[in-house]
Chains A and B, each alone.
Chain A
């Protein structure tokens, strides 16, 4: 009898997991939002929701790039520091009076180039991306410090500030950027050979090599993308704050990776989607906002975020134990 009951409860647990598979972010988001709207009268007001989106949009941009990296089974820890470096580069361009276009193109180039260097070291030098990007994390923020001597730079042109603070039909520009780029990234992942190759080499790098996929080249591309998205995040952040600071983006790599993992991607590669990542980003934003509204100290927010990453990966592992077949990840 006991074993039968045990079987039944196990089976129920199994069903729940299968049902949750792929929807767990949505359910989590709905539950947390529901709870928050009860706990705080401010939560469901449009100014508050817009501020949530403004706050997460930078993380969201980083997380798009990170999704590409994680799909290949690699990781990029340098994105937070690249936010600071690219922000400083953009600010210097503004201060030098170079105008809007160079203030965007230069930091993007810096981000892309850094990504290319990371990618080449990972692909050709066979150094684990964890190590390379951990090193670059220090180097990038260090260069930002060297360039500014640690002083913030502020006072930018109106058109530049519009990127971070502007609105179109009362929708914040960063949000529009995030949505458009999410859709573009999704199309790239699903409908281009490059995107499909990433899923393939994330699943089995050996089989990818044997299938004639240029694994090294795809890896470099992925890190270039991640660096470029990080730089875009840096541009948006400095534009919104009207200031470039060397401490900008501190710890953002953790949030970006959390968003990707909560969004259903597997850290071992081959599984994940950028829509999932967008939802993961919103989830993180809602949690952070909720904790702020409930007057929880920002120190605790870090604790919560760290714990959420571990939980998300744990959930992913539990999900993998269920025999496949019914559902698709």
Chain B
């Protein structure tokens, strides 16, 4: 008898991808990775398993018994726990209280705080993590918050644990710790469904791998019997592989000259130069200050001091408006909260920074707006049912393309990209970098911050290594070396 079995499950949404007769089996004590491009149906499948969505047809069996639920608490009651990618803790409460949230133990009607603390200690102890149950959740790092979320799910009887992109904001040490915890859980016969875009991690941690593509189950593979290349080709189904670096000649023109720039976001004054047509990488660990450098260049922190010149002219970057006027564009790190407007359509999202340009006599010209949107949907190959589709109906990669498109309409000279491919699948990643390459060929210059060094090495012409808020060194393309740069990022060199 299998722990969890999905039989012929289908699900359709208006205007979006669906699941088509998907079969899936999870055994007790295994880590089963679920991979596929964005929009392949991974999220839909786990949302069905966790009770967020309901399948249109087909059935789900837990330990041989058919189960049916339509809310997450019912799924949890049956022993299916989910750690969503965008989980949120109550920041103003303690770790212990977060772990017991929603089912605080009571004694004579009042909350039994001793029991709350004891439960937290017990479950954190079982996971062998040194976290203070009385610490405020808001004061923890993302990795620690994730552990609290795992503890929260684990503090109830869990047979099936679903983890959606659990490592996307973790440092490599935190990833190691997470994998250890997962191993402990599988020793206790918990079945884990592990969703990730990071193939390297998938191969490290999983026992089996299932590949979804366009809502269909392509196949299930035993991890140690399969090559990563085979998984990628199953995921992509003949689509082309990730972007590789294009050899090109960088001109000597300095587009951006930063000297002793300091501002509220920066720990140390920074200086560097960016050349025309160059892709400059900012490599650094989470919290190293790479995002803050981009934020400061986009005027997010308020007044700055020091010198910034764009194409030789002094500019002031004390507000986003000034930064835009100076020719900057920023694709922010947190797409959901900073990149898109969830209440608006693809069209409305795309035109926001371009509205002034689309007006005639003070009013937005509908025909110009329409033309702009159609051109950019095509130019950025955004997969959408139409311009009026709500942006939230699009997959992550396609939402990100809209964010790119909205900025490229403003004809920026410098494009600031903060983790542009976070939570985006291999195929969309390649497309996004193809777009970046195309823009660079047109003379745009790019500063790219990423936690995935591999990506920086693939794409950049030059890399600045950031540590503790400082630019500690500059690495030209012919000195690119994964181990070497990682060592510098981590302070080992």
Contact = CB atoms under 8 A, between A and B. Distances in A.
B86 to A, nearest CB: 14
Nearest to A199: B344
A276 to B, nearest CB: 15
Nearest to B363: A191
Nearest to A202: B343
Interface string B278-317: 0000000000000000000010100000000000000000
B257 interface: no
A126 interface: no
Interface string A203-221: 1101111111110000000
Contacts of A270: 341, 343-344
Interface string A287-327: 00000000000000000000000000000000000011110
B396 interface: no
A185 interface: no
Contacts, number: 95
A187 interface: yes
A209 B332 CA distance: 11
B95 to A, nearest CB: 26
A103 interface: no
Interface residues of B, number: 39
A271 interface: yes
Nearest to B16: A325
Range, interface on chain A: 20 to 34
A324 B362 CA distance: 32
B260 interface: no
Nearest to A204: B341
Nearest to A201: B341
Contact of B342 (A187, A193, A203, A212): A203
B392 A203 contact: no
Contacts of A271: 343
Interface string B354-380: 011001001110100000000000000
Contact of A214 (B319, B323, B359, B388): B319
Contacts of A269: 343
A198 to B, nearest CB: 11
B67 interface: no
A174 to B, nearest CB: 27
Contacts of A199: 341, 343-344, 348
B340 interface: yes
- Of A196, A197, A208, A212, chain B has the most CB atoms within 10 Å of the CB of A212
A325 B16 CA distance: 9
B320 A212 contact: yes
B339 interface: yes
Contacts of A325: 13-16, 389-390, 393
A303 B53 CA distance: 39
A199 B352 CA distance: 10
Contacts of B364: 190-193, 196
B382 to A, nearest CB: 17
A210 B319 contact: no
B321 A214 contact: yes
Contacts of B338: 204, 206-207, 210
Contacts of A324: 390, 392-393
B330 interface: yes
B323 A203 contact: no
Nearest to B392: A324
Interface of B: 13-16, 298, 300, 319-321, 323-324, 330, 332, 337-345, 348, 351-353, 355-356, 359, 362-364, 366, 388-390, 392-393, 406
Which are the 8 A-B pairs with shortest beta-carbon distances? A325-B14, A193-B355, A203-B343, A270-B343, A203-B341, A212-B324, A191-B363, A212-B320
22 contacts: A192-B362, A193-B356, A199-B343, A199-B344, A203-B343, A203-B344, A204-B340, A204-B342, A206-B337, A207-B339, A207-B340, A207-B341, A208-B352, A209-B320, A210-B298, A210-B330, A211-B320, A211-B406, A214-B319, A214-B321, A270-B344, A325-B13
Given A210-B298, A212-B353, A324-B392, 9 more contacts: A193-B359, A199-B344, A203-B344, A206-B337, A210-B300, A214-B319, A270-B343, A271-B343, A323-B13
